[in-house]
Amino acid sequence: MFRNLIPKLADEFHLVAPDYVGFGLSSAPSADEFEYTFENLSNVVYKFVKTIGLNKFSIYIQDYGAPIGLRLALKHPELIQGIVTQNGNAYKEGLGAAWAPINAYQNDRTKENEDKIRSILFSLEGNKWQYTHGVNPKHLPLIDPDTYHLDTIRLERPGNDKIQLDLFYDYQNNVKLYDEFHKYFREYKPPLLAIWGDKDEFFPAAGAKAFKKDLPDAKIQLVDGGHFILEYYSQHVADEIKKFLGKNN
Q: What is the set of active-site residues?
A: 227
Q: Is 191 helix (H, G, I), strand (E, B) or coil?
A: coil
Output the CA torsion sign for 201, 203, 7, 15: negative
Q: Measure the CA–CA gap between 227 and 243, rounded to whole angstroms.
A: 23
Q: Measure the CA–CA gap between 30 and 162, rounded to whole angstroms.
A: 8
- Say which amino acid occupies 202: F
Q: Measure the CA–CA gap between 2 and 17, rounded to whole angstroms.
A: 8
Strands (DSSP E) found in the chain: 57-61, 80-85, 192-197, 219-223
Residue 143 DSSP label: S
Which one, of 105, 124, 106, lies nearest residue 116 by Cα? 105
